[in-house]
């Protein structure tokens, strides 16, 4: 799957435009690092890509591998504050990923089909959260919450996960753990778009980097073809 932003303009209040003609492509099976200074519009860019904000000009389209447009692309969005529901358990949070395919009274009453629960258990196991199903999410550590958020996206069947400042609040070791996890998920065909202002993460974990500046993507290339120094220059 590919998610394409084509000539996207967006402003919260006219006439101030935060995004001024953004062109960028996020692909499944690939980690794209979106780099930009604070206030450059990284969060805004992800929200537009996720469909939470409607571009005032340009368009966002999802296409499958043969180029056919997808009306309901499987996208996960992990906001800066992780966006998990603190007052619910790990299992309940993960099951939220199954809500779109299980609409109706049953799930509103808290009853999910058996196979969904089993699937959720499997995913939690894979992400190293086995045995934590009944823990309240608000009592988890930052790294564990992030895993819950990933688990929810996997449960949803997301082919692309848009993650805002995903590792900015973690300590260095946990950051590496989470990024290693993302690398292993990439091998399963899942793509990530991760915003950051840490240029050093790009070469190690990104396949591609896109630098956002003055409302435009001023640089987009393979992560291996660039260096932290060059990125700092571009910022």
Ligand X SMILES: Nc1ncnc2c1ncn2[C@@H]1O[C@H](COP(=O)(O)OP(=O)(O)OP(=O)(O)O)[C@@H](O)[C@H]1O
Q: Which lies closer to Mg ion via its Cβ, residue 2 or residue 195?
A: 195
Q: Are residues 55 and 19 in contact, defined by beta-carbon separation less than 8 angstroms?
A: yes
Site residues for other proteins, 105-164, by CB under 8 A, read: 107-108, 149, 152, 156
Q: Are residues 166 and 119 in contact, defined by beta-carbon separation less than 8 angstroms?
A: no
Q: Judged by CB under 8 A, does residue 180 bind other proteins?
A: no
Tell the residue number behind the tokens 């082919």, with chain if given. 159
Q: Judged by CB under 8 A, does residue 78 bind other proteins?
A: yes
Q: Judged by CB under 8 A, does residue 96 bind other proteins?
A: yes
- Closest distance between other proteins and the C-beta of residue 46, in Å? 10
Here the tokens at position 214 are 């003055």
Q: Taking CB within 5 to 8 Å according to partner kind, which of ligand X, other proteins, Mg ion, none is near residue 44? A: ligand X
φ, ψ of residue 61 to 5 degrees: the values are -130, 145
Q: Which lies closer to other proteins via its Cβ, residue 48 or residue 211?
A: 48
Per-residue contact flags (x/-) with ligand X for residues 28 to 67, judged by CB under 6 A: --------x-xxxxxxx-----------------------
- Run of H or E including 234: helix 228-234
Residues in Cβ contact with 71 at an 8 Å cutoff, skipping those fewer than 6 apart: none
Q: Which lies closer to other proteins via its Cβ, residue 94 or residue 223?
A: 94
Site residues for Mg ion, 31-60, by CB under 5 A, read: 43
Q: Which residues pair with 77 in a beta bridge?
A: 162
- Three-state DSSP at 131 gives coil
Q: Taking CB within 5 to 8 Å according to partner kind, which of ligand X, Mg ion, other proteins, none is near residue 38? A: ligand X
Tell me the H-state helices in 26-113. 42-50, 90-95, 105-108
Q: Which lies closer to Mg ion via its Cβ, residue 40 or residue 226?
A: 40
Rounded to 5°, the CA angle 63-69-72 comes to 90
CA distances from 169 to 46, 97, 143 (A): 18, 24, 9
Q: Which lies closer to other proteins via its Cβ, residue 46 or residue 211?
A: 46
* Residue ranges that bind ligand X, judged by CB under 6 A: 12, 18, 36, 38-44
């Amino acid at each position: 799957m590919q998610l394409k932003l084509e000539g996207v303009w967006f402003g919260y209040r006219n006439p101030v435009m935060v995004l001024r003609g953004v062109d960028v492509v996020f692909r499944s099976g690939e980690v794209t690092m979106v780099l930009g200074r604070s206030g450059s519009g990284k969060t805004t860019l992800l929200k537009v890509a996720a469909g939470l904000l409607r571009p005032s000009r340009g368009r966002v389209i999802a296409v499958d591998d043969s180029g056919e447009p997808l009306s309901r692309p499987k996208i996960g969005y992990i906001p800066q504050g992780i966006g998990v529901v603190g007052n619910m358990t790990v299992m309940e949070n993960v099951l939220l990923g199954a809500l779109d395919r299980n609409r109706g009274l049953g799930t509103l009453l808290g009853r999910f089909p058996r196979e969904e629960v089993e699937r959720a258990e499997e995913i939690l196991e894979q992400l190293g959260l086995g045995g934590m199903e009944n823990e309240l999410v608000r009592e988890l550590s930052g790294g564990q919450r992030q895993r819950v958020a990933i688990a929810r996206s996997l449960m949803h069947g997301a082919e692309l996960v848009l993650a805002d400042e995903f590792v900015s609040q973690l300590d260095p070791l946990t950051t590496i753990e989470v990024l290693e996890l993302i690398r292993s998920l990439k091998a399963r065909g899942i793509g990530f778009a991760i915003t950051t202002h840490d240029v050093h993460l790009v070469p190690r974990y990104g396949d591609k980097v896109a630098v956002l500046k003055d409302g435009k993507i001023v640089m987009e290339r393979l992560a291996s073809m660039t260096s932290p120094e060059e990125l700092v220059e571009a910022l």
